[in-house]
Structure 1
């Protein structure tokens, strides 16, 4: 495959290194603008700017399979346009929603389809928190996107509560979701912790999966023949996340199948964000 990488030169070179281990990539073309990409089989768009969705849409309209590498976009109108454009153009689009694309998460999602219970807890060291409303917002958006993708069911009911010190410093948020299939998920984020901690627990009636996100370790618990709970462990390399995400995208293009995090997933998430932010504005 011939692959194009569009965006800042330094970041583009870093992504080129992630592509090198993959034998299906024969040639990589780096260019600063989407309209300068020649005949390529797939395009990596490395862009954190406010115009990245417009550039992505331009790429789709050019008939390019695109992987947008950026913070998760949340504009419902633009994402709906992008979703419709992908269907019209017949191209595959992947968003860099890292909670979903991470190797440990992919393994858990393959092993446990639609958990009955999902609980996510993230504690952030207060000295490392930038006290940014936007940074805090994307902490919970990322986890919400994972809950929606993994549960793969409509949301029947959602509750959210956010705390700000002196109405300035975002300190904590708790989100509770009940899905149409009866499953539940909760997200808890706290920015005043003494140390970083990030944990996801998923369960169904057969087993529990307890994931430490920072080091990509998973404990899998189930009952043995004596009805006692015992655990196995799986460990993944966090440094391989980008490389594996690139391969998943290229395989989706090769096989003409949906990517792990599609334009439809991104659009659905943006609509739920809007709903939750309306609720937060009413009750906070």
Structure 2
């Protein structure tokens, strides 16, 4: 496959290194602008700017299969346009929703389809928190996107509560979700911790999975013949996340299958973000 990479020179070169190990890639073309991409099988758009969705839409209209590498966008109107344009153009689009694309998560999702219970705790060391509303917002948005993608059911009920100190510093948020299929999920973010911690726990009737996100270590628990809980352990390399995400995108194109995180996923997430933010405003 021939792959184009569009964006800032330093980041483009870094992503080229992620592509080189794959035999599926025969040629890589580096471009500063989407309009300069020639005839390629796939295009990686590395762009954190406010215009990245406009550039992505332009790429789709040019008939390019695109992987947008950026913080998760949340502009509902633009995401709806992108979703509809993707369908019309018949191209593949992937978003870099890292909670979903991470190797540990992919392994867990393959092992457990639609968990009945999902609990996420993220504690951020107060010395590491940049103390911006936007950074705090994206902490819970990323986890919400994972809950929606994994449980894959309509959301029946939402509860949400957010805490600020003196209406300035965001400290904590708790989100509870009940899905149409009966599954539940809760997200807890806290920015005043002495030490950082990030844990995801999921369960079905047969198995329990616990993921230490920073180390990408998963403990899988089941009952043994004596009805005692025992655990197996799987460890994944966090440094391989980008390389594997690129490979998943290319294989989706090659196999003509949906990407791991599609334009529809991004659009649906933006709708639920609006719903939660309306809920949060009720308690200000």
Q: What TM-score does the superposition give when structure 1 sets the normalisation length?
A: 1.00
- Count of aligned pairs: 284
Alpha-carbon shift at residue 248 of structure 1 (Å): 0.1
1:38 corresponds in structure 2 to: 38
Deviations 1:121-155 (A, max 9, x none): 00000001000000000000000000000000000
Alpha-carbon shift at residue 255 of structure 1 (Å): 1.0
In 2: Cα distance, 1:146 partner to 1:204 partner: 16
In 2: Cα distance, 1:229 partner to 1:250 partner: 39
Query: What SS does structure 2 have at the residue aligned with 1:25?
Result: coil
Alpha-carbon shift at residue 205 of structure 1 (Å): 0.6
2:24 corresponds in structure 1 to: 24
| Mapped pair 1:252 → 2:273 | no
1:145 corresponds in structure 2 to: 145
In 1: Cα distance, 2:214 partner to 2:182 partner: 29
Which structure 2 residues correspond to residues 198-213 of structure 1 after superposition, within 5 A? 198-213=198-213
Query: What SS does structure 1 have at the residue aligned with 2:192?
Result: strand
Query: What SS does structure 2 have at the residue aligned with 1:107?
Result: helix
Q: Extract unaligned runs of 5+ from structure 1.
A: none
In 2: Cα distance, 1:202 partner to 1:226 partner: 23
In 2: Cα distance, 1:105 partner to 1:218 partner: 9
Q: Extract unaligned runs of 5+ from structure 2.
A: none
RMSD across aligned C-alpha pairs, in angstroms? 0.4
1:134 corresponds in structure 2 to: 134
Which structure 2 residues correspond to residues 50-61 of structure 1 after superposition, within 5 A? 50-61=50-61
Q: What TM-score does the superposition give when structure 2 sets the normalisation length?
A: 1.00
In 1: Cα distance, 2:225 partner to 2:118 partner: 26
Q: Runs (4+) of structure 1 moved beyond 3 Å?
A: none
Deviations 1:11-44 (A, max 9, x none): 0000000001100100000010000000000000
In 2: Cα distance, 1:256 partner to 1:82 partner: 19
Alpha-carbon shift at residue 216 of structure 1 (Å): 0.2
1:275 corresponds in structure 2 to: 275
